Structure 1
Amino acid sequence: MADGPQETDGPVEDAVTLAVLGAGGDLFTRLLLPGLASLLADSPGLRVTLVGAGRRPWDDDEFTRLVADGVPEDVRDAPAGRYLLEHVRWAPTDATDADDLRRLLDGAEGRTALYFALPPRVTVECCEVLAGLDLPDGLRLVAEKPFGTDHESAAALNERMRALVDEEDIHRVDHFLGLPSTWTLLSLRLASRALAPLWHRDQVESVGIVWDETLGLEGRAGFYDGTGALVDMVQSHLLQVLAVVAMEPPAAMTSRDLRDQIAAALRATSVWDGDPVASSRRARYTEGTVDGRSLPSYVDEDDVDPSLETETLAELTVQVATGRWAGVPFRLRSGKALGADRSELRLTLRPPAHRVPGLTGDPGPEVLVVDLRTGDLRWELTTSGRGDPSELERTPLVGRLGEPRMEPYGEVLRAVFSGDARLSVRGDAAERCWEILAPVQEAWRSGEVPLEEYAAGSDGPA
């Protein structure tokens, strides 16, 4: 179905119910709860009824204590926080049981958002059961990535969810789209007189999108082993950043216009030269030291199955076959247990067509860097030297955005509660991301791309 005309960062509805399937898991305590707390701090008039659902044998008091522990004291003491803690309940729930789901949704106050913090397979089964229930008016569905496990399963999940609600009421969460950097990119691309012309093949030699982490597995083998960096990071987060970089300017900042352009950019994206072997790389970390911490080899981490050959670092070069970007390589990379955290979009600019004789030195290419965590900017420009003014050097100009108004998951929930689908992943875009990666996954499964190794704490494979 067509998207609704969401025009602006609209007001959050005063009374909402957030029902979270899988609220006993890591996602809720690590990301969703801090995000909700930051949203309440930013929206003092918001009144949220929180219903946690899962298989854990908790009661309302136990879940309320968990929620209270995750909410800062200043938020707990404010009216919005007090209301939340007075309206928390726990619903022991089998997400595939009709009676359990009916009880979960009964008594919802205001607009209801049903959050699937579940594996894709369970989400599909849950949606099949929901199709037989009377659902609350205005229900919004919120799905966590990964959206399916391949193109076929993503399409099946989309079909199940669209049978329940309209596309505009489905929020597929990629919290990277809630980071300050996303709005920085949109502003640079669409509103900056100085920088908007840069985003073109005539100006840009290459694009790099990197998310490197010093963190290792950190006890997440249950999710990560068998998933790996390609699916965990590149298939979702980094391709979404690429789409914002590569899209054509939308006619307006509406849900339909913006997401039409994002989808078009992804449809134009494919593996560089159609060669997944030459254009991709995979590796996993071995024993090493990161920031003074000793890490074991990935294969020696608890609950890891070495036979799965799960990569902890993935690199992929793609092309965007449009008049704007033809011939420009987009290099995507993400890895764990590396020597430094690095999260950036990097535009490497082409050299000038002509250098006036008498200017010397080789300062290297100019680059524009956006920090993907903070949205901060660094523009490295060619300037005269500090000594000999005819000797060129590169000088950075730095712009810092300051603290964001809320956590990325706070932005996600704000968008859900206000019905703002602009930076939710649309169904066709979710399916297309799997199509882009399919030839790479096949080349990796067949062993055509070797699984390399790198020491924890290093810069990655040589």
Structure 2
Amino acid sequence: MIERLVIFGATGDLTGRYLLPGLAALRAAGHLRDGFQLTGASREDWDSDEFRRWATAQLGRHAAGLPASARKAVVSSSGYRQVDVSDPAGVAAVVAGDGPVAAYLALPPKVFPAAVSALHEAGLPSGSRIVLEKPFGEDLASAMTLNRLLADLVPEQAVFRVDHFLAMTTVQNVLGTRLANRMLEPVWNAAHIAEVDIVWDESLALEGRAGYYDGAGALKDMLQNHLLQLLCLVAMEPPISLSERDLRDRKLDVLRSVRPLTEADIVRRTRRARYTAGRVGDRDVPAYTAEEGVDPARHTETFAEVELELDNWRWPGTIFRLRTGKALRRDRKEVAVRFRHVPHLPLGHSGEALPNVLRFGLDPENLALDLTGIGVHAHTLVPLRLTAQIDPPELPAYGRLLLDVLDGNAALSIRGDEAEEAWRVLIPVLSAWSKDLVPIEEYPAGSDGPQPRQRDGGKE
């Protein structure tokens, strides 16, 4: 296990909100020993004492439920170095020391190439690992360039392209539920499943992230990485094992099977929109274009929806709908697997037999199955829902990811060819949207999003 972690960009929101609490959770669970060392590195003109005060405040805000002793241990193990991540000499001073180091780039994606190049010139101790946040690159060309830079720095097995969605309990339960239950896997195919909706709708608006979000948009921020990863887990063939190679190979198969989208497909099967002024719950939300730091001329979308089909034996004709949006009326974060209608209902029943839906709730984490049954009146069909709450995990998602990085378990990170293939799926969409082939719609903040289209996929 690596016992030195350097976080580049350590004074940002990612570190304060997720990485520090993740480390404190590891300490509380007994996964970090007393000799563990954390070094924060960033451009701010701080010293170690100032960083520790900041870290203490962040842990108090975002990890108050963890033991004070665990939080204190993380803070006391930390130090700070001011550094320009593009300066090899400064980077070399930060990573120098005894034994391997895990270098975590908690940085904007556009800075990754410069930081990786500086690490390459500085040199990393043998056995070191490098961690990169999503999105990996800004398009296919930049992802390929970044992969080449990383290949010159460390072996592929030492590169962790992390996506914290893969460490969420319910996301892993997508695989566990379908593969460990005899009654599900035989019907996990196009003959029985009409549609799969993979949704991450948020009531949160921009929340001060214009500097990053306006250059990315909903498609790059959520759909190209998080939601495509969920698609892989839902649609993949059963792997031989959950080892690094087997799991990643089957995920890559899914991405390679995505039917290429023509411009006509993109016009018909994709949507983009941005929110106007409105009210979400008890708060007024300004229009996206009025948010501080937003350039209205970019036409950045805050809502994106794409329908995909897979050209393989298991899924012909099933529609996979990926959707994400901000400033919506309610949070809806789930994978909804919609089964086809039954072929025949006995005569004499009133009411409608709705399709069965298996729902994997992502936040909060739960599992639900929508069925049809008999109501209080005989021969009357009514909807039924069976629900199960999932026990809280021992570690939060970022705690699990950090443990995998330190232990060298890359099964839940994304391999280089997989990262490139994910861009290939959506590059045609980005290209068509840049030509305005798909108009950008609008929806009021606090609504359910743009008006729904008439669906033409997944019909019986």
Give yes or no for the alignment of 1:53 onto 2:41. yes
Q: Which amino acid aligns with 2:52?
A: T
Q: Tell me what 1:399 maps to.
A: 388
More divergent stretch after superposition (390-399 vs 80-89) = 80-89
What does 1:412-451 correspond to in 2, within 5 Å?
A: 412-451=401-440
2:153 alignment partner, SS class: coil
Question: What's the offset of the Cα at 1:120?
Answer: 2.7
Could you say which residue in structure 1 is the equivalent of 2:359? 369
**Contact 2:100/2:124, CA 8 A, preserved across alignment:** no
Indicate the residue corresponding to 1:4 in structure 2: none
- Alpha-carbon deviation of 1:75? 4.9
The 1:177/1:300 distance shift into structure 2, 3 A limit, reads same
The one-character-per-residue Cα deviations of 1:297-321 (angstroms, maximum 9, x if unpaired) are 1111111110001110001101111
Note the 1:37-436 alignment, pairs <5 A: 37-43=24-30, 45-47=32-34, 48-71=36-59, 72=63, 75=66, 77-78=68-69, 81-108=71-98, 111-270=100-259, 275-388=265-378, 390-436=379-425
Residues 25-78 of structure 1: CA deviation (Å, up to 9, x unaligned): 221112222222222222355343110111100000011111222334675643
Q: Counterpart of 1:17?
A: 4
Question: 3-state DSSP class of the match of 2:268?
Answer: coil
Taking a change above 3 Å as real, the CA distance of residues 398 and 195 of structure 1, as seen in their structure-2 partners, is same
CA distance in 1, matches of 2:32, 2:142: 40
Shift of 1:196: 2.5
Aligned-pair CA distance for 1:270 = 3.4
- Equivalents in 2 of 1:134, 1:154: separation in Å? 22
CA contact (8 A) 1:364 1:394 kept: yes
Q: Flag structure 2 segments of 5+ consecutive residues without an equivalent.
A: 452-460
How far has the Cα of 1:377 moved from its partner?
0.7
Deviations 1:383-404 (A, max 9, x none): 112222x222221010111222
Structure 2: which amino acid aligns with 1:63?
A: F
Aligned amino acid, residue 23 of structure 1: A
- Taking structure 1 as the reference length, the TM-score comes to 0.93
Which residue number corresponds to residue 458 of structure 1?
A: 447
Superposition deviation, residue 271 in structure 1:
5.1
After alignment, is 61-70 or 129-138 more displaced? Answer: 129-138
Change (3 A) 1:376 1:263: same
Given the superposition, is the C-alpha separation of residues 399 and 223 from structure 1 closer, same or farther in structure 2, using an over 3 Å criterion? same
Distance across 2 between alignment mates of 1:43 and 1:311 = 43
Deviation digits for residues 275-333 of structure 1 (CA, Å, limit 9, x no counterpart): 11111000000010001100111111111110001110001101111111111110111
Amino acid in structure 1 at the alignment position of 2:409: D
Matched, 1:32 2:22: no
1:249-280 deviations in whole A, cap 9, x for unaligned?
A: 10111100000000110111135677111110
Q: CA offsets per residue over residues 333-378 of structure 1, 9 Å max, x none? A: 1000000000010011111223233344213111111102244111
**CA distance in 2 between partners of 1:121 and 1:310 (Å):** 17
1:350 maps to a residue whose letter is: R
**CA distance, structure 1, for counterparts of residue 121 and residue 172 of structure 2:** 39
Inter-partner Cα distance in structure 2 for 1:452 and 1:44: 48
- SS for the counterpart of 1:163 is helix
**Alignment check: 8 A CA contact 2:101 2:124 kept:** no
Give 3-state SS (helix, strand or coil) of 2:172's partner.
Answer: helix
Partner of 1:8: none
Kept in 2: contact 1:55–1:93 (CA 8 A): yes
Whole-Å separation in 2 of the counterparts to 1:271 and 1:347: 23
Q: Give the Cα–Cα distance (whole angstroms) in 1 for the partners of residues 336 and 71 of structure 2.
A: 40
Secondary structure class of the residue paired with 1:368? strand
In 2, distance between residues paired with 1:93 and 1:383?
63
Task: Indicate the residue corresponding to 2:455 in structure 1.
Answer: none
Q: Is the 8 A contact 1:383 1:394 kept in 2?
A: yes
Q: Using the TM superposition, name which of 119-128 and 175-184 deviates more.
A: 119-128
| Aligned length in residues | 446
Match of 2:3, SS state, is strand
Identity among equivalent positions (%) equals 43
- C-alpha separation in 1, matches of 2:192 and 2:74: 51
Post-superposition offset of 1:172? 0.5
Q: Distance in 2 between matches of 1:111 and 1:128?
A: 18
One-letter code of the match for 2:244?
Answer: S
